[in-house]
Structure 1
């Protein structure tokens, strides 16, 4: 399932343009994916929280709009060389992703509300495969997670009663691909014991 995308939705705020510049400086170093994701996460974290008066200098009002049918993807920036993209995901209460993994390294930071993530491990006995739940993570505003394939199988949901917004940075051109999802998993899932 690919969320509806709004490529280059509206304009970048001054604060988002500064974040894009910081991300570019990290990505241009050409480091391994895991380290790139970690360092991009360090740059993203200070930009996530809104001002004490509740104003949002990171996103425009149009970039904060959700969709009543499913979570909405606003592609804010795609680097000309395809090396990274910045996306705002807007989640109304109860909305969630399918269980999936990614095409590239990824950093996700909660900007507003709270998201929860269920992480999985793929287990195979040679004849069949199944998913095993390995961890549940609650992500309030300001939380950042960084990861790189393989081993990035998860499901993300809005776990609060209001709109949740997260900023995602992917090591791929999401405006061209349409999504950061590599594969959706429709396998049995067990809880790890």
Structure 2
């Protein structure tokens, strides 16, 4: 993770809403404060920023809540011009889920609408596969942050028996153009 400070005055950033602009400023501040600070402090700041962002009902436009009937849909909301992070809304129809994965970078997410189910795994080095450890619901308002690596393997999805779609907000420590290719470390379960 690059931790250089970015001046807001020279930051050429255009985003979807004032809530996303505020979230970007808070992530910038968290990155600036992370230099020399304990790693937990960065994660706490990201979680708090996500919690504040999802409290704004005007955060997403209707077109940023559009789903895809074939697979969950990712809408890029903002990309840091210095390639330190990207922010996306993910829209999940009932029965849609991510593959089982770890992360190649830090990431945080918050559930905006609906309830997602998160399945957690541990890495079994002897078997070279992820082993399920537990499942739990992630209701609207739930917030999570993890560092890169196989210490936080999971699968996230909208249960098949859900009554409606779910929407979540994600921040990844990658450049915007890398959001589909450099975030997930896909693993066999």
Query: Normalised by the size of structure 1, how large is the TM-score?
Result: 0.80
- 1:158 paired residue number: 158
Q: Deviations over 1:157-188 (max 9, x none)?
A: 1133211000001111142353453321124x
Residue 50 of structure 2 is aligned to residue 44 of structure 1: yes
Unaligned runs of 5+ in 1: 1-9, 51-55, 188-193
Q: 1:90 to 1:111 in 2, by over 3 A?
A: same
- 1:131 paired residue number: 130
Measure, in 1, the Cα distance between the counterparts of 2:187 and 2:41.
26
Return structure 1 stretches of 4+ with deviation > 4 angstroms: 31-34
Structure 2 matches for 1:44-123, cutoff 5 A?
Answer: 44-49=50-55, 56-123=57-124
Provide the aligned length of Structure 1 versus Structure 2.
171
Q: 1:45 to 1:66 in 2, by over 3 A?
A: same
Measure, in 2, the Cα distance between the counterparts of 1:108 and 1:177.
14
Measure, in 2, the Cα distance between the counterparts of 1:143 and 1:70.
22
Structure 1 residue 33: Cα displacement: 5.0
Query: Could you tell which deviates more after superposition, 169-178 or 133-142?
Result: 169-178
Query: Normalised by the size of structure 2, how large is the TM-score?
Result: 0.82
Per residue, is there more helix in 1 or in 2?
A: 2
Structure 1 residue 107: Cα displacement: 0.5
Q: Deviations over 1:17-70 (max 9, x none)?
A: 1121112111222346553222111111122146xxxxx300011111111110
RMSD: 2.0
- 1:182 paired residue number: 184
Q: 1:173 to 1:147 in 2, by over 3 A?
A: same
**Secondary structure of 2:169 counterpart:** strand
Measure, in 1, the Cα distance between the counterparts of 2:179 and 2:92.
21
- 1:6 paired residue number: none
